[in-house]
Amino acid sequence: MNNTPIHSPEYGKMLAGETYQATEPGLVLELNRVKVLCHEYNGLCPTDFTGRNRKLHEILGQCHDDTFIVQPFYCDFGRHIRVGKGFFANFSFTVLDEAFVTIGNDCFIGPNVGIYTACHSTDPVERNTRREWARPVNIGDNCWIGGGVTILPGVSIGCNCTIGAGSVVVGNIPDNSVAVGNPCRVVRTL
C-alpha cells in the first residue's frame, strides 16, 4: 500500500479538515509522484492483471487482490483511498482524495464517476489564494454507483444503495436506498 512519507507541514492540516495551502511544495511533490504512478497504471496492458494489481497496491491506501479498476484511473494522493473486497470501477474513475475516501465491500462504480473531497471558497479572492479544505467521503457495502455520478465532499452513502446514472450526490444517502437526480434524492427504499 502507498505509505511513502509526505514531507509537508500542510499535510496534517489537510487530513484534519482544516484550511491548508494546496500549493505547498511538499504536497505538490506528492501529487506529481502519484500522477506518475497513475500514468504508469494507465499505460499497462489491459490484460496484465498481475501488473495492474501490483500498481494499484502501490497507489491506493487499501485494496485487495480482487480489486479491479478499468483504465484510465485518476487520483490525487491515492493513499487516502480505501476499497473493500470485490471492488470494481469502470473507465475514467476520478478521485480527488485530499480527505479519506472509504468504499465498502462488493461495490461497483460505473464509467466517468467522480468522487471529490477537496473544497474551495465561493469567494474568488479567497479561492485564488489556493487555500482549501477537504471532507471525507464514505460509501457502504454492496453499492452500485451509476455512470457519470458526481459525489461531493463530506457525503456518506449507506450500504446496499444504488445511485442512478448522472446523479450529483450533495447530501447523505441512507442504507437500502435507490437515489437519483441533481441533487440526488431517495426515490425508493429497498
| SS3 assignment for the chain | CCCCCCCCCCHHHHHCCCCEECCCHHHHHHHHHHHHHHHHHHHCCCCCHHHHHHHHHHHCCECCCCCEECCCEEECCCCCEEECCCCEECCCEEEECCCCEEECCCCEECCCCEEECEECCCCHHHHCCCEEEECCEEECCCCEECCCCEECCCCEECCCCEECCCCEECCCECCCEEEECCCCEEEEEC
Catalytic residue ranges: 120
